[in-house]
């Protein structure tokens, strides 16, 4: 049940990321509230290529978990060779892992851990981007405030 939940979460994140990333970057927020930190963070989290690539990587890691789990299922292989006279030479091979000595379980565990590492990398990238965006927003807001305060003061220094 937990693995199914993880799989659905990864698919949801990937699908949601694709839905958010199809838009274009807009010069101003849609709600008309002006440039604020919230809109800047939202734009960064939805439009930044680093976040997009981490979401795609996370989705691919989810498929690797599925591939590792699928190795528990039987597989059928067909090999054909040259025809000799009226006979076809071929081989049909059916494999069912009865006892794999923990190889399949180990592959699934490794794939799960790689998915967890991918999730952590996504969170770290998002945190880094949020910190950069907040720092930049503070600098811009500070400069705007200072220029507003200094706007009424003449720059000549001669007030006689």
Ramachandran quadrant class, 32 (left: phi over 0; alpha: psi -120 to 50; beta: rest):
left
Percent of the chain with pLDDT over 70: 72
For residue 11, give every residue at least 6 positions away whose Cβ sits within 8 Å of its Cβ, in sequence order, or none: 59, 62
- The string of pLDDT tens digits covering residues 69-114 is 888 888 888 887 777 777 777 788 888 888 888 888 999 999 999 9
Question: pTM for this one?
Answer: 0.57
Give the residue-averaged pLDDT of 9-25: 51
Q: What are the pLDDT digits (tens) for 58-71?
A: 999 999 999 998 88
């Amino acid at each position: 049940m937990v693995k199914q939940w993880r799989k659905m979460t990864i698919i949801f994140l990937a699908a949601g990321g694709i839905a958010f990333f199809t838009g274009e970057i807009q010069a101003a927020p849609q709600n008309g509230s002006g440039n604020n930190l919230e809109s800047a963070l939202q734009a960064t989290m939805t439009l930044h290529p680093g976040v997009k690539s981490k979401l795609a990587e996370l989705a691919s890691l989810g498929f690797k978990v599925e591939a590792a789990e699928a190795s528990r299922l039987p597989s059928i292989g067909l090999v054909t060779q040259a025809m000799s006279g009226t006979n076809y030479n071929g081989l049909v091979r059916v494999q069912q892992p009865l006892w794999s000595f923990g190889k399949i379980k180990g592959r699934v565990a490794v794939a799960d851990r790689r998915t967890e590492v991918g999730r952590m990398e996504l969170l770290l990238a998002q945190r880094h981007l949020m910190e950069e965006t907040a720092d930049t927003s503070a600098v811009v807001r500070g400069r705007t405030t200072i220029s507003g305060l200094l706007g009424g003061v003449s720059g000549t220094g001669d007030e006689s």
